[in-house]
Structure 1
Amino acid sequence: MSRRDRALLLAGATVAAAALTWFATIWHAFFDLSIYDGAVSYWLRDGGMIYDWLRLESRYGFTYPPFAAFLMAPMAYLPWPLVIVVACVATVVTTALIVWWVFGPAIRRHGRPPAFMAALTLLAVAVFEPMRETFVFGQVNTLLLAVVAADLLFLVARGSRWAGVGVGLAMAVKLTPGVFLLWLLVTRRWRAAAVATGTAAAATLLAAAAAPDMSREFWTSAIFDTNRVGTLAFVSNQSLQGVVARLSPAASPVWGLLLAAAALAVWAWRVRRADVPAGLALTGVLGCLVSPVTWVHHLVWLLPAFLLVVERGLGGERRLLWFAGVSWALMCSRVVWIWERNPAGPVGFLGSNLYVWISVALLFLVPPRRGAGLSDRAGTVRAWAYPRN
């Protein structure tokens, strides 16, 4: 491909990504970010209980632990446009870091030139529906994924005494990343698991000491209020529990638990043979499947899995490249929303749960290890030699 052709391809992809993001931004208008901003402003500027605040004409309020509220506290003193700018920049930067950390070896190995492949990869990520949703809702998903990825790929992989800190901090901000503590335990990284647990506990206790009433409200009441997060059967809930809820609103949640247990068994079987990047990818997939609520924007946790599948596909396994390409296109298309109002019938069942089926496939298809020669030339520890602690 000539330099002119590469420039035209990048220009076209950039315009497409910008247009999709712009229209999505108009539609969603940083809805979740406005909840964070309104809730912390109500708490710090009006003296109210953060978990009592609800967005105007909605039932949605602040759902994160108190430690997250302290991290978001600066929002209360910044003008709304600046809050949006900071959130957007943080999302873009953390996304770029995640892509480079996970997919960098493939970019250096297959990119001609590497800068072109890196730019094209970022544009492909930008049109991925979970990434678009994270950006335009103003969600924190990529920030948490970046913290966990940095911990696993650099601290855990190198046997650092600080390994587990990132997982612990992410757990203190949001409960879902706790699935990575399970990964540390299953792979017998006892010290890192202890550090993660201690970090999460310390952050939680620190928040409790600073705001005891808020902590009491969250851990005894708000955490159990499922009305604050939405309806399980809503098509945006692309978890196994969402599959059960759409199949029959009256179905017992036990069925969802049984499916989650099956996913957990497959994950445990696969992850014990996996290196750290694959462990990151597989555990991100597991978290999406077993969480009671996995909104579409939560599916950014699938990003490492997709990147590793593409990397292996570029290395010669074309079936994986085809799977990644077709699945990626489907997850850029918003196709599940066709069945937003009526997921009934065989076609509705298959279509409304499409992202769940892709997640299940990824649980089986993520390569457990990178092949020889894919290590970072700058000195990153070889994937197959990652120590355990």
Structure 2
Amino acid sequence: MTSALLAFDRAGDRLFDSLRRAAAGRLPSLSALETPAWLGLAVAIAAWAAMVLFSEPWGRLWGTGQDARCYYQATLADPYLHSDWNDPIAYVYSPAFLQLVTPLTALPWQAFMAAWTALLLAAVRFLTGPRLLVAGLLFPFTAMEVAGGNISLLLAAAIVLGFRWPAAWSIVLLTKITPGVGLLWFAVRREWRALAIALGATAVIAAGSFVLLPDQWRTWVEVVARNVAAGKNGTWASLPIPLLVRLPLAVAIIVWGARTDRAWTVPLASMVALPAFWYGGLSMLLAVIPLLPGRGLERYAPAVAAAGRPRTRSAMITAPARNTAAPAQNGAAAPNGPASAPPTAGPTTPAA
């Protein structure tokens, strides 16, 4: 089993190195995409104003808030009135999420869009930081998500926060469900406490919500079962790659990333495991940024940053053991070889 895992690690390392070499010189570095913080703020304000302005009247060509309307129109009394996979205003998330956003739905539609868009833009700012905000907002799939009002950006932020506060995973599990495959990170690394917190928090929220809305929860289970079959081949707005194909790939990415201290693989795998691979779902790639060394990894996943090494974990496992025998007195050779100076600690760089 150990040999198989080491072979898996090495195969993943080779593939990643090949992709990195292929991208070298073809893609700009993050540093090259940085702009002054004030410019990012200006672009964000302009984007917010445009999203709010074009949200009214609802349903017009090139209007905004198509996905946000799904959450706005749903009611706690009958949340799944519109729940077919291809219904433009389908609400298919758990009753718990609707209970969370219901206070906002009391607002007029355009006021709701103002608040909702501000929340999405705040998520982008969190993921990119101030100097990459312009690049993040101009990333086509991010612009698509902000305009549509889907929750992919909120899930991306929750995944990043989930490294430090695992309860944040509850928003993932109580909405799109399958991106929760990212929790395998904790299982592979045997971080059982973090996994228990994530699952426990989700269970507590679900139980409390069920007490208040038991019939709606039963209906939601039926909606999920119905839409699993209906959405297995994607929709007009998603890549036609079935979840059955993508899910094993997501698992492989998570396992490799967890074994080699690459936290950025978690949002990548969660994106791959979306129920439908929406084009706008690619905006979740922004969550890779704060999980890179020097970009936020030390803040949100300090344990991973501390464990990061120039070599992968598999290389550390297969490296020869260090000779720890004490040298003989009077300069004589130690039993296992010649005496040597103690190793000097040097700077290490977490695995990219």
TM-score, structure 2 as length reference: 0.63
* Corresponding residue to 2:266 among 270, 275, 283: 283
Decide whether the 8 Å contact of 1:66 with 1:215 is kept in 2.
yes
SS state at 2:260 partner: coil
Question: What does 1:127-166 align with in structure 2 at a 5 Å threshold?
Answer: 127-152=138-163, 155=164, 163-166=165-168
Cα deviation, residue 383, structure 1: 4.9
Cα deviation, residue 234, structure 1: 4.0
Decide whether the 8 Å contact of 1:141 with 1:300 is kept in 2.
yes
User: 1:89 maps to what in 2?
Assistant: 118
User: 2:312 maps to what in 1?
Assistant: none
SS state at 2:80 partner: helix
CA distance in 2 between partners of 1:179 and 1:222 (Å): 21
SS state at 1:62 partner: coil
* Corresponding residue to 1:385 among 268, 292, 306: 306
* Corresponding residue to 1:68 among 68, 86, 97: 97
Q: Does 1:207 align with 2:190?
A: no
Decide whether the 8 Å contact of 1:167 with 1:180 is kept in 2.
no
Q: What do the CA deviations read for 1:180-207 (whole angstroms, capped 9, x no partner)?
A: 2221111211001011111111111111
User: 2:128 maps to what in 1?
Assistant: 99
Please tell me the root mean square deviation across aligned C-alpha atoms, in Å: 3.8
User: 1:37 maps to what in 2?
Assistant: 72
Cα deviation, residue 176, structure 1: 3.4
Decide whether the 8 Å contact of 1:68 with 1:172 is kept in 2.
yes
Query: What is the one-letter code of the residue matched to 2:108?
Result: P
CA distance in 1 between partners of 2:83 and 2:224 (Å): 15
Decide whether the 8 Å contact of 2:170 with 2:201 is kept in 1.
yes
Query: What is the one-letter code of the residue matched to 1:64?
Result: Y
CA distance in 1 between partners of 2:192 and 2:185 (Å): 10
User: 1:312 maps to what in 2?
Assistant: none
Q: What do the CA deviations read for 1:24-52 (whole angstroms, capped 9, x no partner)?
A: 97624201111211113xx4xxxx42102
Counterparts in 2 of 1:137 and 1:97: CA distance versus 1, 3 Å: same
Q: Per residue, is there more helix in 1 or in 2?
A: 1
CA distance in 1 between partners of 2:256 and 2:134 (Å): 34
Structure 1, unmatched stretches of 5+, are: 1-5, 101-117, 156-162, 245-255, 309-367
Cα deviation, residue 208, structure 1: 0.6
Structure label with greater radius of gyration: 2
Give the stretch that moved more between structures: 168-177 or 194-203. 168-177
Structure 2, unmatched stretches of 5+, are: 1-34, 56-60, 309-352
CA distance in 1 between partners of 2:179 and 2:228 (Å): 22
Identity %: 21
Decide whether the 8 Å contact of 1:168 with 1:195 is kept in 2.
no
Decide whether the 8 Å contact of 1:37 with 1:76 is kept in 2.
yes
Question: What does 1:2-13 align with in structure 2 at a 5 Å threshold?
Answer: none
User: 2:257 maps to what in 1?
Assistant: 270
CA distance in 2 between partners of 1:77 and 1:228 (Å): 33
Cα deviation, residue 14, structure 1: 4.7
Decide whether the 8 Å contact of 1:183 with 1:283 is kept in 2.
yes
CA distance in 2 between partners of 1:186 and 1:376 (Å): 19
Counterparts in 2 of 1:30 and 1:211: CA distance versus 1, 3 Å: same
Cα deviation, residue 18, structure 1: 5.2
Counterparts in 2 of 1:196 and 1:92: CA distance versus 1, 3 Å: same
CA distance in 1 between partners of 2:300 and 2:233 (Å): 45
CA distance in 2 between partners of 1:376 and 1:290 (Å): 23
Question: What does 1:177-196 align with in structure 2 at a 5 Å threshold?
Answer: 177-196=179-198
Q: What do the CA deviations read for 1:281-300 (whole angstroms, capped 9, x no partner)?
A: 21211122233412112222
Q: What do the CA deviations read for 1:224-277 (whole angstroms, capped 9, x no partner)?
A: 222898683546323xxx236xxxxxxxxxxx6355424522441233111xxx
Paired residues in the alignment total 264
